[in-house]
Amino acid sequence: MTTHKIAVIAGDGIGQEVVPAALECLERIARLHSLDLQFTHFDWGSDYYLRHGRMMPEDGLEQLARHEAIFLGAVGSPQVSDAESLWGLLIPIRREFQQYINVRPVKTLDGVKSPLASKEPIDILIVRENNEGEYSEIGGRIYRGQPHESAVQETIFTRLGVSRAAHYAASQASSRGRRLTSATKSNGIIHTMPFWDEIVEEAVRLYPEVTLTSELVDALAAHLVLKPWTYDVIVASNLLGDILSDLGSAVTGSIGVAPSANLNPEGDFPSLFEPVHGSAPDIAGMGLANPVGQMWSGAMMLEHLGHPEAASHLQTAFESVLREGLGTRDVGGTSSTSEFTAAVLATIDAID
Ligand code: ATP
Ligand code: MG
């Protein structure tokens, strides 16, 4: 029996509802596939912040380092600033564990209606550089309150950072539709973006089977709305990737079904798996949350841990429940979180 130590941070709001739902499914899958998933729960997040003045304890990263993966719900609360929750937990985790890739599958599912008129199936993998780029602390503000008050923030692209993101994206494209689109803005951003373009091109040359297209991000955003089914893998910098992947989850239907992974592809450090959505305080505690984004993130975690069959078992189960027409309110259904989860558990058993 293979053992995996997994750190669980359910976090805030609906994280407390969708994480237990996904864990029930993961436990059922583990039993059927002879996996020993050992979950350790950490009560970190905004409530912890309100009690202790920080999102996680001082040795939080050390505690997490003892695990192979981190399964996160959501952090964020109306009482805690977004910057506090991002820089107090997620960004330190991404950096400490060199989770330099953020992957977000953007895929239409039967039973989840896309707001687009066309019924063409969409299946895109968005690969976002996760450690550098536009998200840097380098900069500052001067002449506060004066007419010439100014702010500067530097973007940092490193050869290592860009090339490893490009390599990861190209290798994914190679095993999918063999088309890779790189998001750029080198007509306007004349130092860092041409550097990005150059290194992406250099890296992708090692994958002759992959066709690379560089596309200006403004046009790419429009095309993601007008004809998203024409894309296969998209690679983008930290900021551009963040925007494109939110757009992607919007065109496929509900934000409640979209998963993501913050990967350290080499497996030297734990990777983190979390749904795209946040803590959704507007529906927290009401049993309305869609658990699919969390379940799908769990399937990605199983895949990353080396169990593709277990991953696809879970994936097939929630996809077929959605296809049968069951769903939470956000996808047009009437099921509660627990009713939907019960249906997925039954389907897991049925397709064993
Ligand atoms: P945060 O600050 O934590 O990111 P947010 O309010 O900015 O929270 P989300 O939590 O992603 O952003 O919520 C955006 C909208 O989508 C809300 O109206 C929320 O109710 C809805 N939503 C998000 N996730 C789900 C889900 N899993 N099921 C149903 N609705 C959801
Ligand atoms: Mg948000």
Domain with CATH 3.40.718.10 in the chain: 1-100+261-352, 114-252
**Residue having the nearest C-alpha atom to atom 15 of ligand 1:** 280
Report the pLDDT averaged over residues 191-214.
98
> At 119, is the pLDDT very low, low, confident or very high (cuts 50, 70, 90)?
confident
Q: What is the pLDDT of residue 12?
A: 96
**Residue having the nearest C-alpha atom to atom 25 of ligand 1:** 256
Q: Which amino acid is at 54?
A: R
Q: Which amino acid is at 223?
A: H
Q: What is the pLDDT of residue 183?
A: 98
Q: What is the pLDDT of residue 195?
A: 98
Report the pLDDT averaged over residues 329-334.
94
Output the pTM of the full model: 0.93
Q: What is the pLDDT of residue 317?
A: 98
Q: What is the pLDDT of residue 277?
A: 92
The domain 114-252 is placed in CATH, from the list 3.30.565.10, 3.40.718.10, 1.10.150.120, 1.20.210.10, at 3.40.718.10
**Residue having the nearest C-alpha atom to atom 8 of ligand 1:** 278
Q: What is the pLDDT of residue 341?
A: 98
ipTM over the 0.90 cut-off: yes
Q: What is the pLDDT of residue 19?
A: 98
Ranges 28-32, 79-83, 250-254, most confident: 28-32
Looking at domain 1-100+261-352, its CATH superfamily turns out to be Isopropylmalate Dehydrogenase (3.40.718.10)
pLDDT digits (tens, 9 = 90+) for 37-72: 999 999 999 999 999 999 999 999 999 999 999 999
Nearest-10 crossing angle of helices 217-226, 238-251: 10
Q: Which residues are catalytic?
A: 143, 185, 218, 242, 246
Q: What is the pLDDT of residue 1?
A: 86
Report the pLDDT averaged over residues 177-190.
96
Which residues, including other chains, have CB under 8 Å from residue 323's CB and lie 6 or more apart?
109, 110, 111
Report the pLDDT averaged over residues 5-9.
98
Residue 89, SS3? helix
How far does the centroid of ligand 1 lie from the alpha carbon of residue 162, in Å?
A: 31
> Atom of ligand 1 at shortest distance to CA of 277?
11
> At 18, is the pLDDT very low, low, confident or very high (cuts 50, 70, 90)?
very high
pLDDT at 103 over 80: yes
> Atom of ligand 1 at shortest distance to CA of 294?
27
- Verify whether ligand 1 is closer than 6 Å to residue 278 (CB atom): yes
Angle at 50 between CA 45 and CA 54, to 5 degrees: 60
**150-153 and 139-142 strand pairing:** antiparallel
Tokens of 60: 């939080």
Tokens of 45: 């997040």
